[in-house]
Structure 1
Amino acid sequence: MVSARIASSAPLRADRLQRAGAAVVASKIETGLAERSWSISDREKRHHCQLFCVLHGRAVFIGVDRHRMDLLAPVMLWLPLPVAGEFRLEAGGDGITAMIAEDFVWRIIGDSPVATHLRPMLERVVVAPSDRIALQLAEIGVSLNALIRESREPQAGGAAMMALHLGVVMLHLWRASGGGAATAQRGSGVTTVQRFRQLIELHYRENLGVDDYADRLGVTRAHLHDACLRATRETPLALIHVRLLEEAQSRLEQTDLSVEQIGYSLGFRDPSYFNRFFKRLTGVTPGAYRQSGPVARTTREPLSFAAWP
């Protein structure tokens, strides 16, 4: 049996994912003497996708409809936001698990040349069985190691590094599952909110308003507002702001562009508007954020989604 060495990590905690900048939180599952289980709540109670990679042993996933999926290592299991249930790892098993913010997955898929094929992974369970990943497990292990390291020790450019390695893992999942058509459990379908997020990814630099997005979706502003509140507990404007903030933070971390240049590239024609927008969402100015260092950045949550020029 092929195995992969996975770096040690602290136990997985959902609150770590909620911190600004924590797009991925990955952790090793150590060998245990007893069965362990993970309760995967429905989308009303979580905002992340879940990935399990079982390196040794047996596991099972039981959906809320009581459908049972038996898993024999080495195997990977992808659980998107619409899916809920319970994952159980038998005694003696080990591997890793990772929580990935759904918005971060959208960003990876939006930039991928195979986006059309990867997009269904946001709607369905995907299983990469042992006979499809055994030969690639060492390569997958490199990317999983990187996700653990980057989520445990945040550094400049961490989001970009995570995106690269998570993209590799997702491509392996897609290939091993039969190009997206193999064992899968349908979720809730492509919703208005999912299509809205796709449009945000394509047009967030263009300073489009909520009405513009609603028109492109072919729905009313009120319908889009209600759909976003039901699915995410955020308004459409808040989701637009989150994506803008993420891009602003990324450019402050990874480029030498001035604050004014970054603001202008994101649709802010007045530097003071960009400074006000950024400070209201993070509590600090763009300049202070750039100087604070990656560790300090990951500990503050956005304060408000209210500012927009």
Structure 2
Amino acid sequence: MHSRSVPNYWLYRAKTGESEDFWLHSETLPERSRLHDWEISLHRHEALFQLFVVKEGEGELLGPVGRVLPFKAPCAIYIAPGSVHGFRYSHDADGLVITVLADRLSSLGASDPSIAAYLATTRVTALEPNETDCGRLAALASGIHEELHAARPGGEIILDAMVTEAVLRLARTGAKTDRRDDIPASRERDRQRTSALEALVAAHCREHRPVGFYARKLGLSAGHLNRLARRETGASVQELATRHLLRAARRDLVFTPTPVQAIAYSLGFQDPAYFNRFFKRRTGMTPGAFREAERGKLVG
């Protein structure tokens, strides 16, 4: 079927019928599929993207030129804007279908290249039960459906946040799966070690630990760990620790009333004067000047 002959629907075989401020729709998977005997013919949504969270059953995602992609619960299906697609479902299929205006994707894709790459193409992503992002995605889909139909005060703001989180968690899960499929096992092991290092640095940066401390925790030599860190993050282990310290310092300076001297001690600096020099060397400002400038922006 030529792409120009594929019908472009707002929702499948539905007129817009929505208020001018429509941006989100949610329904159960059987709600529309049952009407069409569990088979949805090829169509597209030029101005929308869709997120299917399939909780039961299985089926096939149909694409142009006879493309067929099987899927089985639990999984998530992302339909990119304008993507030609259709479905064949088993009669026990169940889950949720969330439809969103495509203009919401621009800011999400700008957050990270791997997110943008995932969102550019229609995908099927298996949801692993023990993966945090996967479990959170299923809960978010249920929360979106419930909140949308409850019409409670503040619902639009909550829905906006939940949809953003759901899309990002799906894209993050998909990007992680793509990396596992595309890179050698040794590279995946290095990525896992880097993630573990980042978590250790976040937990211990205030203790000003040497590289050897982190190396022992990960079962590597200090030299190997530094080479790994530079290759995967572009920074040495000590530079990663410094970044975490600066992030914590900035947050405390702007959002707490804690005196600069106390912040210095909380970050593991024995001498507040040294903390001042450290902070100015990294930011070009003293902690006090930074606090004053950033709080001025918040007031303004």
TM-score of the superposition, structure 2-length normalised?
A: 0.48
The structure that has the greater radius of gyration is 2
- Between the two structures, name the one with larger relative contact order (CA 8 Å, sep ≥ 6): 1
TM-score of the superposition, structure 1-length normalised?
A: 0.47
Higher fraction of helix: 2
